[in-house]
Amino acid sequence: MEQTVTFPDGRSVCKLGQGTYKMGISAARRDDEMRALRHGIELGLSVIDTAEMYGNEEFVGEAIRGVRDKVFIVSKVLPCNADYTGTKRACERSLRRLGVERIDLYLLHWIGRHPFAETVRALAELRNEGKIGMWGMSNLDVADMEHIISLPQGRECSTDQVLYNLESRGVEYDMLPWCSRHNMPVMAYSPVGEGRLSCNQTLERIAKRHKATPAQIALAWTMRNPGIIAIPKAGSISHVNDNYNSLTVTLNDEDLAHIDAAFPPPRKKIPLAGW
């Protein structure tokens, strides 16, 4: 399995990243979560995904201190802040909280009331100013992505981050092919279904054949095709190691057939799940 994904600007990252939703919030878990993030970075899991909504950008900033050159930071602007001026101000706040001079990839978190044109204009300017490396979208369906790329500078859009796992395969019908045609990587959040897939019997049977865990099978499945970056969350070093080992799992045709039987692929358009 190819280990990296390349963005339109030529930058390559490991196709397994690290999500941080709800991390750094609990004082009781904070130290373990900090160690987990840093361990993942040392393993080469360079993509660290956060957002202003998560309320943990300071925590992420602390975790990457001293290893900034090893990290690909992703953050997001809340839709309520995503008018032209609000997007630029939100980015400045995120930069301060993260303690960095540039966010590698900055996303609109989901659709809000502000016109896409205002958000895209601000994102393009932030990129030109060097405050972000790339920009993209999150939780946008095909029709909205078509709108984005039709805007001035809209073809700079570098990704769409969406809910994608075995329980939520709707994006396979049209979103994944659309992104592939436009040379646009997809970021898959909740790739293990917030842990639910780690108890699935079909995945347990496949995992035994691979000397793996059901969660590793779910992750390997999500990353099986080119252009997909999975961003599972892991709050402990052992969990990070388990996720990392999914990179060595290669599913065969028999495995994929059993998975399709248990989790049928979409046969029609399904509205985008997520936020």
Q: Round the average pLDDT of the chain to a whole number and report it.
A: 97
Q: What is the pLDDT of residue 271?
A: 87
Q: What is the pLDDT of residue 267?
A: 96
* Higher-confidence position of 176 and 272: 176
Please report which helix (H) or strand (E) contains residue 148, including its range. helix 142-150
Q: pLDDT class for 99, splitting at 50, 70, 90?
A: very high
List, by residue number, the catalytic residues. 54
Mean pLDDT of 141-145: 97
Question: How far from 215 is each of 61, 100, 147, 222, 273, CA to CA, in Å?
Answer: 28, 33, 36, 11, 21
Cα-based torsion angle of the residue sequence 41, 43, 45, 48 in order, rounded to the nearest 10 degrees: -20
Q: What percent of the chain is predicted at pLDDT more than 70?
A: 99
CA distance 33 to 10: 31
Q: Return the sign of the alpha-carbon dihedral for residues 165, 168, 172, 175.
A: negative
Residue 101 has pLDDT above 80, yes or no: yes
CA distance 266 to 151: 30
Residue 274 has pLDDT above 90, yes or no: no
Architecture of domain 13-262: Alpha-Beta Barrel (3.20)
Question: How far from 31 is each of 39, 115, 170, 269, CA to CA, in Å?
Answer: 12, 40, 37, 43
Place of tokens 């909740």: 190
List the Cα angle 103/106/112 in 5-degree steps.
Answer: 150
Within 8 A by CB and 6+ apart from 141, the residues are 175, 271, 272
Cα-based torsion angle of the residue sequence 123, 126, 130, 135 in order, rounded to the nearest 10 degrees: -10
Q: What is the pLDDT of residue 275?
A: 62
Q: pLDDT class for 1, splitting at 50, 70, 90?
A: low
Least confident of 1-10, 74-83, 120-129: 1-10
Residue 78 has pLDDT above 70, yes or no: yes
Is residue 109 part of an annotated ligand binding site?
Answer: yes
What's the pLDDT tens digit per position in 28-38?
Answer: 999 999 999 99
Q: What is the pLDDT of residue 119?
A: 98
